[in-house]
């Protein structure tokens, strides 16, 4: 059986003062591949590998859990651009099948590659701004790290 601490938490003005985190600014910085806190340090050390921490402000990036969300968002974004374009072109013009594949497949591939890193950066910025997955300064007691 797990016993929980019943010690009451005493709230003071100092415990309520936390760093203000602007959601849109953090997502914009992450989208550009920069640290969500300061906007100066690099967020990525490789194409999709986040750095361990920011070189400028020291923010630890290891607790982020972007997982598959960036890929899903890229599929949605590219799909909403590509599918209406394909439907419009195919209903208004008669194109040969080889031209269809030669145009749509590379566009979809390169658009997906181009958006994957910026979208992952925006997701990491979102997690930092909302204090998700270890980006909280005071994690709750009794929850092991992932």
| Separation of alpha carbons 5 and 25, rounded Å | 38
Segment 14-65, tens digit of pLDDT = 655 566 889 999 999 999 999 999 999 999 999 999 999 999 988 888 888 8
- The confidence score (pLDDT) of residue 146 equals 47
| Separation of alpha carbons 35 and 61, rounded Å | 9
- Checking if the pLDDT of 145 tops 60, the result is no
Residue bearing tokens 């749509």: 104
Could you count the other beta carbons within 10 Å of the beta carbon of residue 2?
Answer: 4
- The confidence score (pLDDT) of residue 16 equals 56
Ramachandran class of 23: left when φ > 0, alpha when ψ lies in -120 to 50, beta otherwise: alpha
Segment 63-121, tens digit of pLDDT = 888 889 999 999 999 999 999 999 999 899 988 889 888 999 999 999 999 999 999 99
Ramachandran class of 118: left when φ > 0, alpha when ψ lies in -120 to 50, beta otherwise: alpha
Provide the percentage of residues in the chain whose pLDDT is more than 70.
Answer: 80
**Average pLDDT over the chain, rounded to whole?**
85
Which of 95 and 140 is assigned the larger pLDDT? Answer: 95
- Torsion angles phi and psi, residue 8, rounded to 5: -70, 145
HSE-CB for 3 with a 13 A CA cutoff: 3
> In sequence order, what E strands does the chain have?
none
Segment 126-138, tens digit of pLDDT = 999 988 877 776 6
| Separation of alpha carbons 117 and 64, rounded Å | 14
pTM, two decimals, is 0.79
HSE-CB for 82 with a 13 A CA cutoff: 18
């Amino acid at each position: 059986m797990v016993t929980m601490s019943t010690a009451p938490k005493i709230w003071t003005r100092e415990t309520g003062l936390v760093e203000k985190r602007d959601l849109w600014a953090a997502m914009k910085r992450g989208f550009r591949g920069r640290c969500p806190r300061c906007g100066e340090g690099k967020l990525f050390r490789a194409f999709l590998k986040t750095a361990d921490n920011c070189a400028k402000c020291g923010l630890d990036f290891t607790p982020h859990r972007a997982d598959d969300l960036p890929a899903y968002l890229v599929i949605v974004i590219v799909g909403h651009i590509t599918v209406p374009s394909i439907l419009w072109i195919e209903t208004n013009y008669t194109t040969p099948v080889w031209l269809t594949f030669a145009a749509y497949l590379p566009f979809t591939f390169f658009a997906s590659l181009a958006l994957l890193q910026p979208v992952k950066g925006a997701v990491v910025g979102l997690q930092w701004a909302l204090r998700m997955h270890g980006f909280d300064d005071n994690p709750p007691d009794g929850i092991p790290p992932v």
